[in-house]
Amino acid sequence: MGFWEMFYKNKLMLVGSGIVLLLFIVSFLAPWLALYDPGQIDLKNVLASPSWEHLSGTDQLGRDVLSRMIWGARISLKVGFVATGLAIVIGIIMGSLAGYYGGWIDAVIMRFVDIMFCFPTFFLILAVIAFLEPSIWNIMIVIGLTGWMGVTRLVRADFISLKERDFVQAAKAMGASDLRIIILHILPNAFASILVAATLGIAGAILTESALSFLGIGVQPPTPSWGNILTAGKDNIDIAWWLSLYPGLAILITVVGYNLLGEGIRDALDPRLKK
């Protein structure tokens, strides 16, 4: 059974793909989908409940919540892809070195990975952000620098298995360099694990950014973010339920969508499930 056949038969994966695709479309078309400027203040409509004029209501400054959520989707995608991309690159480099060379290189890298795993990741991010200026680029870099350990373990495991295969031994016999073997022969065969890790990592990065913004040390106003919209919802939970409900649902649906897509890709690429 091929990948695409597995894809179409996996209903949850189709749902996840639809959610991710919708998020991309909304982000790309944000200038046209948002009916209002996300920073436009309207003190006459402060904390207005959902209506035909403002479908998701307004916040404490009269800004349209739906427009801010649409623009916030861009922030989520940017953070998810940049932070996860950085984590994937570091994880591939570290995992490749550990798995291919083994010995003391493997021991040093994996002990460092174990040390990093000893620290609660979110609190480590909080500690680092506390010493830096809260900005979207600092957040993406910090999330990426604290999220590469799982990728390293996956890549290392694949390299340990693949480096003993016949095609690798044949490449060595033909005089191929270690770098050529790693990049052209082993790494493409570890792509499935990396793709799954990247998909799941995007969901984690989006959730982390939302949590940091909710705490006030992430994306700073007036830049719209699902997390800082939730902060306004926390402050007005008794009189403005929509400020908590809609961005909370957006975060939930996005994270679930990426998780479903990642699990579906893993199922479709797992040779043990192909018949």
Radius of gyration of the chain (CA): 22
Question: Contact, 99 vs 182, CB < 8 A?
Answer: no
Contact 31, 204 (CB under 8 A): no
Looking at the 3D structure of the chain, how many domains does it have? 1
In a domain, 118, yes or no: yes
Tell me, yes or no, whether 34 lies in a domain. no
Determine whether 203 is exposed, middle or buried from the number of CB atoms within 10 Å of its CB (0-12, 13-18, 19+): buried
Using CA atoms, how far apart are residues 13 and 67, in angstroms rounded to an integer?
28
Range picked from 42-51, 94-103, 162-171 for highest mean pLDDT = 94-103
Name the residue with higher pLDDT: 272 or 47.
47
Q: Is residue 49 part of a domain?
A: no
Is 40 a member of any domain?
A: no
Q: Decide if pLDDT at 273 tops 70.
A: no
Query: The CATH number of the domain where 126 resides is what?
Result: 1.10.3720.10
Inter-residue long-range contacts of 38-44, CB under 8 Å, 24+ positions, other chains counted: 38/63, 38/64, 38/67, 38/68, 38/70, 38/71, 38/222, 38/224, 39/63, 39/222, 39/224, 40/64
In a domain, 17, yes or no: yes
CA gap 65, 56 in Å, rounded: 6
What mean pLDDT do residues 74-86 have?
91
Provide the percentage of residues in the chain whose pLDDT is more than 70: 95
Query: Does residue 47 lie in a domain region?
Result: no
| Residue whose token pair is 């979110």 | 122
Report pLDDT for 5: 67
CB 87 within 8 A of CB 144: yes
Six-digit token pair at 86?
């950085």
Q: What pLDDT, on a 0 to 100 scale, did the predictor assign at position 2?
A: 57
Q: 207 in a domain, yes or no?
A: yes
CB burial readout 111-132, b (16+ within 10 A) else e: eebeebeeeeeeeebeebbeee
Domain extent for 224: 3-29+60-273
Judge whether 140 and 75 are in contact, CB under 8 Å. Answer: no
Compute the mean pLDDT over every residue in the chain, rounded to the nearest whole number: 86
Predicted TM-score (pTM) of the model is 0.87
Question: Is residue 267 one of the residues assigned to a domain?
Answer: yes
Q: What is the DSSP letter of 189?
A: G
Per-residue pLDDT, averaged over 77-87, amounts to 92
If one counts every other C-beta atom within 10 angstroms of the C-beta of residue 56, the result is: 22
